[in-house]
Amino acid sequence: MYNFTIPREKFDENNPDKQIIRHLISKHISMVDRLKKNMAYYQGKHKILEESNRDNRLVCNHAKDISDTASSYFIGNPVSYKSESDITALTDALEIAGADEVDGDNGLELSIYGLAYEYIYVKENEYLVNNDNRALEDAQVKALEKRLSEIGKESKKGIKGDKRETLDERDKAVVGFMCRNFYDIRAFGAVMTTFTQGDYNCGQVRGPVQLGFARSIDPINPQGVTVTRVTATKEGTPKGIVGPKYIVPYALYKVEGHVSANLARKTTGFSEEDLELLWKAIINMFENDHSAVRGNMAVRELIVFKHSNELGNAPAYKLFERVKVSRKEEVKVPRVYEDYTVEVDTESLPNGVTCERKL
C-alpha cells in the first residue's frame, strides 16, 4: 500500500503544490507499464495472440471472468449507510454524486489494476474532525501539549531530546484515547499516521483480533444473473439489460482467527466484555445485512479454543487441525449445510486448553 499525506494546514485545493503534483506523476509513471499490462489481460489482449508461429490462437480470458465475478460479488449490491442520527443529507448527496456507480467502478478497477482512488473531502466540524478534536481535548493529551509549548519557549541544552520524548508520550496518550473510545481500534487496531490537524503521528496500532481469509471447503461455481431495468430512471433512459450479478448457489466457507490476550493487555485494553461482544457480532453478522445476492448467508458454527496462559498453551495450527469439515460421501453437489459433517476432536486437548462450540 502506498500512502501519501499532505498536512491539513499546508493543503490548498485551489492552488496545489507543483512539487507534490510532480512527485505523484513520477510515482504513477513508475507503475504505468504494469497497469497497461493488467488492462490488456482484462481486455483479452494476451501474449498468445502475438505468436505468429501458431496456426490456432485461442484466448481463455480468465482475467476478465475473475475480475467481473470478484467485483460483482464484492460491490454488486450498493453500500448501505446506517446511523443512529439523521443522515438523509449524506445519503442524498451520495445519490446525486452517483456514489453507487463510483463504488462499482472502483471495485472493478481494484481487481484489474490492484489499486483504485477515491477523493474524500471532509468539511470543517464534521465527523472525522470532531473525533480528532475529542482526542485532543483529552486531559492527558492537553497536559502534554502544554509541556510541548513550554519546551518551545526554553533554550536549555538537551531540550531536543526532551521534546522528542514528550512528543512520543503525547502520541501514546492519543492512542490510549482512541483505544478507549473506539471498539474497532481496540479490537482490530488501526493505522493512525495522520490526523486532520496538527503534527500527530500515532503510527500503527496492532489489534489483538486478527481474522484470516475465508476459504471454501469445495470449489465453488459462480453463476451469472442478468439484471434488467424495467422502469426508466429518468426521461430518455432506455429500458433493458443493465449488467450482470453473480451468485454462488451454495458454498461453505471456513475462516480462522486469533485473539491475542498479550496484545489485548499491553496495547489496546481489549477486555473480556469486548470479547463476548465480538462473539455475539460474529454469530449475528449476517442477520441484519441480508441482500438479494446473499440473502441466506449465515454463520453456522463458532468454535472457540481458550487458553489458560496469556501466551497460549498450544500452537494455533494444532488446534485448528482438530476441526475437520468434510462433504458426506453420498453427496456429489452440496446444496445445504447438512451435506457436510463438522467434527471437533476434543479428546486429549493440551493442558490448559478448553473448547467451546458457541453456535
Per-residue pLDDT for the chain (359 aa), expressed as one digit of tens each? 556 667 666 777 778 788 888 888 888 898 899 999 989 888 888 888 888 888 788 888 888 888 888 887 777 677 788 887 888 887 888 888 788 888 888 888 888 888 888 776 655 545 444 555 566 566 566 665 666 566 554 544 444 556 566 666 777 777 788 888 889 999 999 887 655 455 566 677 889 999 999 999 999 888 887 777 666 655 655 555 566 777 888 999 999 999 999 999 998 999 999 999 999 999 998 887 777 767 788 999 999 999 999 999 999 999 999 999 999 999 999 999 999 999 999 999 999 999 999 88
Which long-range CB contacts under 8 A does 139-147 form with residues at least 24 apart? Answer: 140/173, 140/176, 140/177, 141/170, 141/173, 141/174, 141/177, 144/169, 144/170, 144/173, 145/170
Cell numbers for 22: 510532480
d(CA 76, CA 97): 18
Cell numbers for 37: 499490462
d(CA 203, CA 186): 15
Decide if 228 contacts 245 (C-beta within 8 A): no
Helix axes 32-42, 99-113, angle to 10 degrees: 100
d(CA 77, CA 99): 12
- What residues contact residue 19 under an 8 Å CB cut-off, 6+ apart? none
Could you tell me which residues are beta bridge partners of residue 244?
Answer: 226
Backbone phi, then psi, for 265, in 5-degree steps? -75, -45
